[in-house]
């Protein structure tokens, strides 16, 4: 359970970093609320996917290392 929480926290930090980078560097300050919503949706989709994917990979790696010991 501890390794799952650690992996989830690390994945969340990666997701936050990706979302921040997309909103700050790639998406300019939106002029309309629709553009703002689209930018937040795109960055949320990408960061959520990457955060979950990386967290899952770390969890699988840690659990297989634990089983080998």
Q: Residue 55: its pLDDT value, please?
A: 78
Q: Residue 1: its pLDDT value, please?
A: 63
Strands (E), the chain: none
Q: Residue 69: its pLDDT value, please?
A: 61
Query: pLDDT tens digit string along 3-59?
Result: 667 777 777 777 778 777 777 787 667 778 887 788 778 877 887 787 788 878 888
**Domain enclosing residue 54, as ranges:** 2-68
DSSP 8-state symbol, 32:
S
Rounded Cα gap, residues 32 and 22, in angstroms: 18
Whole-model pTM: value is 0.57
Rounded Cα gap, residues 58 and 25, in angstroms: 27
- Say if residues 62 and 3 touch (Cβ distance below 8 Å): yes
- Quote the number of domains for the chain: 1
Q: Residue 42: its pLDDT value, please?
A: 80
Rounded Cα gap, residues 68 and 19, in angstroms: 35
């Amino acid at each position: 359970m501890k390794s799952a929480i650690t992996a989830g926290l690390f994945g969340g930090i990666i997701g936050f970093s990706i979302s921040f980078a997309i909103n700050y560097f790639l998406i300019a300050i939106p002029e309309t609320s629709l553009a703002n919503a689209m930018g937040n949706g795109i960055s949320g989709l990408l960061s959520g996917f990457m955060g979950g994917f990386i967290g899952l990979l770390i969890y699988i790696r840690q659990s297989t290392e634990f089983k080998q010991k």
